Chains A and B, each alone.
Chain A
Amino acid sequence: MRPINAVITKIVDETPTIRTFYFDTSFELIPGQFVMVWIRGVDEIPMALSRENAITVQKVGPATSALFELEECHSVGIRGPFGNGFDIKNGRILLVAGGVGSAPLAPLAEKAGASGLKVTTLLGAKTKDELLFRERFEAVGDVRIATDDGSDGTHGYVTQLLDDAKKYSQIYCCGPEIMMKKVLDNVTPSKAQFSLHRYIKCGLGICGACCVDGLRVCKDGPVFSGDVLKKTEFGVYRRNECGERVRV
């Protein structure tokens, strides 16, 4: 598909650094899938869908900064949704979200909640103001908070709240890679799914730029089971835009 034109209908400031952009177009979405968002004349970047008609973005670089310059009635080009998305299993599920990693997990929480699953969320951020989608998670189950500076909940990392991970039939995780690696190392790998972030170029499974030991994040992922990731460079190396190995 060529990029379709998506007009921004609403912009919501979720935290001091994170905004949600609503579009006039809805996508049939499996939570965890992403779209390629083309800020015309600047760049095209992968973004998780946080709702069927919205992306939630943290300002981190030139492309996201350009996106933050856009206003309602402006438009972007969108390709997708791409990738596999989370596989929702039955039973008691645990979500582990760090920072903007809440973006693909919030629609998962809502979908799981709507189908009657018991959803517990461990929600972490640098500080209280940066906790993303707390209300969306609270609406479907228990939420436990951790902040790096102790301004809310446990003082420290969200991974410190993992003590009773064994109670859950499946764990869904998205956040900084170091955090996800820590989760992977502390749970039963086959019972956990992780949404990965890599430098994505084509988004079509062709170029291979986003590969993690041969697994294409854009096509085979972005969600991978922990037992698959256990055997890979996940949490150790990533590739930069040149394809060079860079320590995570």
Chain B
Amino acid sequence: MLSLTLTGLKLKNPLMLAAGIMGTTCGSLKRIAERGAGAVVTKSIGLEPKGGHSNPSMVEVDCGYLNAMGLPNPSYKNFQGEIDIAKESRVPVIASIFGGCSLDFAEIAGALRADAFELNVSCPHAHGFGAEIGTDPELVEDITRTVKRAADVPVWVKLTPNVTNIKDIGLAAESGGADAVVAINTVRGMAIDIESGYPVLGNKFGGLSGRAIKPVAIKCVYDLYEALDIPVIGVGGISDYRDVIEFMMAGAQAVEIGSAVGNNINIFNDISSCMESFMEEKEWTLEDIHGMAHRE
């Protein structure tokens, strides 16, 4: 009862692994896929191998986590094998990719074979990449259009909430030909060690994820659902089935789950069984709850 078709991809449920979580190695992607995820999104992959920021790269804060990993990745030139092995788990594998300009994105999308691409134009802490691009509607439209030309699979665009109006960026992605938008990436944040005055993250600042950002994400999804014709994929602070239902009522057709995987590697199985019971009891289908919060 949870199966759906999302931008042409058949998913057994609407619960996907978010980018940046357990996504660098085929073994970890497979492990999540085998534990109930409807699809998995890889770590963001770029042109060249990158080691990322120095540690601490992720710390727990009140109601969530702050991270500044710094886009560590082995480069697309060393990544096809990971995707191919991950695909043995028989769920769609979506490649998250990043670059500094549309040509970078196109080079990667033209070379990697995946079931879809998720464009990371929203990482809040990598100089020259991510949100430095994703806050500019013209760049987002240009990158999306270029990738659409280079790739023959669905293209999703992951949006940053660190903008005045996320609808403008969503509309830009849609004009560029995006098949879906994903909202949200992390919310810019920082923590300082009061014993020493040092910012806690090696990169000094980073992005906030986890429970704290869920209301922010729900509002972004709600707004994007109203503004766009393409599907919205919700992400940000999901840790149980109630969160998923809430995202779908706000307008998400599917969701991605990230930080909560740390404390529950079986979260996809857990949520899908709870969701099924809830929807059976309510006698609702996925179509019923999709965008329910928008009814007059």
Residues of chain A having any CB pair with chain B under 8 Å: 1-3, 5, 36, 38, 40-45, 75, 77, 79, 201-209, 211-216, 219-220, 232-233, 239-245
> Beyond the given A40-B198, A43-B202, could you list 15 further A-B residue pairs with CB under 8 A, ordered by the A residue number?
A3-B56, A5-B196, A40-B196, A204-B58, A206-B21, A207-B69, A208-B22, A208-B25, A212-B27, A213-B25, A214-B28, A240-B51, A242-B49, A242-B52, A242-B72
Interface flags, B29-64, vs A, CB<8A=1, else 0:
111000000000001000001111011111111000
Q: Are A45 and B59 in contact (CB under 8 A)?
A: no
A232 surroundings in chain B (CB, below 8 A): 27
Q: A3-B193, A38-B56 are in contact. Are A209 and B67 (CB under 8 A)?
A: no
Q: How far is the CB of B39 from chain A (nearest CB, A)?
A: 16
Interface secondary structure of B, over-half rule = loop
- Residue of B31, B61, B72, B196 near A209 (CB, 8 A) is B72
Q: How far is the CB of B55 from chain A (nearest CB, A)?
A: 4
Q: Are A201 and B58 in contact (CB under 8 A)?
A: yes
Is B129 interfacial (CB 8 A cutoff)? no
Residues of chain B having any CB pair with chain A under 8 Å: 20-25, 27-31, 43, 49-52, 54-61, 65, 67, 69, 72-75, 78, 191, 193, 195-196, 198, 200, 202, 258-259, 261-263, 265
In this complex, the member of A1, A40, A79, A212 whose beta carbon has the largest number of chain B beta carbons within 10 angstroms is: A40
In this complex, the member of B28, B31, B61, B78 whose beta carbon has the largest number of chain A beta carbons within 10 angstroms is: B28
Q: A3-B200, A43-B54, A242-B50 are in contact. Are A208 and B23 (CB under 8 A)?
A: yes
Q: A2-B193, A3-B59 are in contact. Are A204 and B65 (CB under 8 A)?
A: yes
- Residue of A207, A240, A242 near B58 (CB, 8 A) is A207
Q: Are B193 and A205 in contact (CB under 8 A)?
A: no
Task: Name the 5 nearest CB pairs between A and B, nearest first.
Answer: A214-B31, A44-B55, A214-B27, A208-B22, A202-B58
Q: How far is the CB of A105 from chain B (nearest CB, A)?
A: 25
Q: How far is the CB of A209 from chain B (nearest CB, A)?
A: 6
Minimum CB distance partner of A2 in chain B: B59
Cα A192 to Cα B40 with chains together (Å): 34
B75 surroundings in chain A (CB, below 8 A): 242
Minimum CB distance partner of B45 in chain A: A243
Q: Are B57 and A202 in contact (CB under 8 A)?
A: yes
Q: How far is the CB of B249 from chain A (nearest CB, A)?
A: 27
Cα A219 to Cα B31 with chains together (Å): 14
Cα A220 to Cα B60 with chains together (Å): 18
The 23 listed contacts between A and B (C-beta, < 8 Å) are A3-B193, A38-B200, A40-B198, A42-B54, A43-B202, A201-B52, A202-B262, A204-B60, A205-B261, A206-B21, A207-B58, A207-B67, A208-B23, A208-B28, A211-B22, A214-B22, A214-B25, A220-B265, A242-B51, A242-B52, A243-B24, A244-B74, A244-B78
Q: Are B55 and A38 in contact (CB under 8 A)?
A: yes
Interface secondary structure of A, over-half rule = loop
Q: Are B58 and A206 in contact (CB under 8 A)?
A: yes
Q: How far is the CB of A188 from chain B (nearest CB, A)?
A: 25
- Residue of A1, A43, A209, A243 near B60 (CB, 8 A) is A1
Cα A232 to Cα B54 with chains together (Å): 28
Q: A44-B55, A44-B56, A219-B262 are in contact. Are A243 and B25 (CB under 8 A)?
A: yes
Q: A201-B55, A205-B262, A219-B262 are in contact. Are A241 and B202 (CB under 8 A)?
A: no
Cα A242 to Cα B265 with chains together (Å): 23
Minimum CB distance partner of B29 in chain A: A214
Cα A45 to Cα B57 with chains together (Å): 11
Q: How far is the CB of B246 from chain A (nearest CB, A)?
A: 22
Cα A162 to Cα B31 with chains together (Å): 34
Cα A205 to Cα B30 with chains together (Å): 16
A5 surroundings in chain B (CB, below 8 A): 193, 195-196
Q: Are A243 and B22 in contact (CB under 8 A)?
A: no
Q: Are A2 and B191 in contact (CB under 8 A)?
A: yes
Q: Are A208 and B24 in contact (CB under 8 A)?
A: yes
A211 surroundings in chain B (CB, below 8 A): 22, 24-25, 27-28
Q: Are B20 and A79 in contact (CB under 8 A)?
A: no
Cα A219 to Cα B263 with chains together (Å): 9
Q: Are B27 and A205 in contact (CB under 8 A)?
A: no
Q: Are A207 and B21 in contact (CB under 8 A)?
A: yes
